Structure 1
Amino acid sequence: MLILPAIDIMGGKCVRLALGRFEDVTTYADPADQCAAFAAQGAEWIHVVDLDGARQGKPVQHDVLRSLVGGSAKIQFGGGVRSLEHVRALLNAGVSRVVVGSLAALTPEQVRSWIAELGAERICCAFDVRPVGERLNVVVKGWTEGSGADLNSTLKSYPPGTLKHVLVTDVSRDGVLAGPNFTIMRTLRDLRPDLMLQASGGISSLSDVAALRSTGVAGAIIGRALYERRFSLGEALAH
């Protein structure tokens, strides 16, 4: 299982939000310094989110991005990606994989065409879900709106062979160290064994990392637990 440390950027700073609330923000290190530190600790990939871009509907942290690419770690970058031109610009800037969020749920046919053109390794579709009973409602636009569909039906818009990398976040757990939703990951792993699943939201301990590994997911994105020193990236990589 690949460990992807997370860097969320707002106002040029490295931050973490609680439950996606922009008013509940904690500021940490300089993004470039944090990226270098993660790479020095052994990160192969770093997951970067442009929070300002997510709010504005276009990537805006261009200067910060330039300071992150070109190192030993590959960059998976998302936030505000709304067009093929955005995807191309990010790839041309040195990003290794672009994360497409809202449009992946709202316009799957369009996103499938991007994947067909650019390659399945270059695009990761991110689905943010809010569990309601056994239903996983997909939310979009910074978790402020429902997509009108659940995750199961949304994934049916991406038949096997049309999509490879998928990032799933349980928004009820993100940024609050509540533990991952293991049930979602096990269910998705069984439902779509063709997908490389990345789990995000709630990882708080090394035991969470080990438990996620046992679900068979391809990757785990870790944010606040690293910043609050619950454990180190090196420990997570070795666990």
Structure 2
Amino acid sequence: MIIYPAMDLMGGRPVRLRQGQFEESTFYHEAPAAALARFAAAGASWAHIVDLDGTRVGEPVQHDLIGKLARAGDLKLQVAGGIRSTDHVARLFDAGVERAVVGSLCVTRPDLVAAMLDSFGPDRITLALDVRVENGTPLVATHGWQAASGISLWDVAARFPEARHLLLTDIGKDGMLQGPNEALYEQAVEQLPHLAIQASGGISSLGDIADLPTDGVIVGKALWEGRIAPEELFA
């Protein structure tokens, strides 16, 4: 399993949101570069970076900072936030980013996502699907969780048979530190065997990670608030 320490950036500062709400944000004082170096020293090989400013406006905003973090070479970076075109993806790769993450486009512009997978290769594109589980069915939400697509996780994933990476978030768990939705991830691993799935949302302890069947896991708030020590996590 690959463990991805997560760092959300707003105005160049690390921040965590509760339930994806910008008005419920907590800023942290550690500089982004110092945080990534600390995770690398503890044994991490990847980091998941989200440009929250980019998410808000619909295009990458903190490109220069993310480029500096990528060029520092401490960790391989998987980057999300405001990616809406092949040019956005190309610029990230030119800056040294290893993987680009596309979310809402999987619902609104599946043709464009398919083109990205074809142009850049499936190993360099991560699909990000955020779901709310309703009556046992994981339904995909878009646009920063504000819009309900009414389309199931399974139907959206079926549009991209060539994809290899999926970041799957249970919105109800994100930022709550109440443990992940293990049943969702077990079902996803079973139904989507061609995808390397990254679990996201609710991680609060090492025990939460040990029980997950996924290929990767995103760990954010628990790291930033000291509930999990990096040295223990990456050991």
Question: What TM-score comes out, normalization by structure 2 length?
Answer: 0.96
**Shift of residue 38 of structure 1?**
1.1
Paired AA for residue 110 in structure 2: P
Task: Determine the structure 1 residue equivalent to 2:60.
Answer: 59
Structure 2 distance, partners of 1:234, 1:171, is 28
Paired AA for residue 52 in structure 1: D
Structure 1 residue runs without a partner (length 5+): none
Paired AA for residue 191 in structure 1: Q
* Counterpart pick for 1:114 among 98, 113, 116: 116
Percent of aligned positions that are identical: 46
Structure 2 distance, partners of 1:46, 1:54, is 18
**Shift of residue 237 of structure 1?**
2.1
Matches within 5 A, 1:78-157: 78-157=80-159
Structure 2 distance, partners of 1:132, 1:233, is 34
Give yes or no for contact 2:63–2:92 (8 Å, CA) kept in 1: no
Structure 2 distance, partners of 1:60, 1:182, is 34
Paired AA for residue 89 in structure 1: R
Give yes or no for contact 2:67–2:97 (8 Å, CA) kept in 1: no
Give yes or no for contact 1:177–1:224 (8 Å, CA) kept in 2: yes
**Number of residue-to-residue matches in the alignment:** 233
Large movers: runs of 4+ above 2 Å: none
Task: Determine the structure 1 residue equivalent to 2:221.
Answer: 224
Structure 2 distance, partners of 1:24, 1:134, is 28
Structure 2 distance, partners of 1:234, 1:111, is 36
Structure 2 distance, partners of 1:180, 1:54, is 24
Q: Does 1:169 align with 2:166?
A: no
Matches within 5 A, 1:185-196: 185-196=185-196
Question: What TM-score comes out, normalization by structure 1 length?
Answer: 0.95
Structure 2 distance, partners of 1:105, 1:125, is 11
Task: Determine the structure 1 residue equivalent to 2:183.
Answer: 183
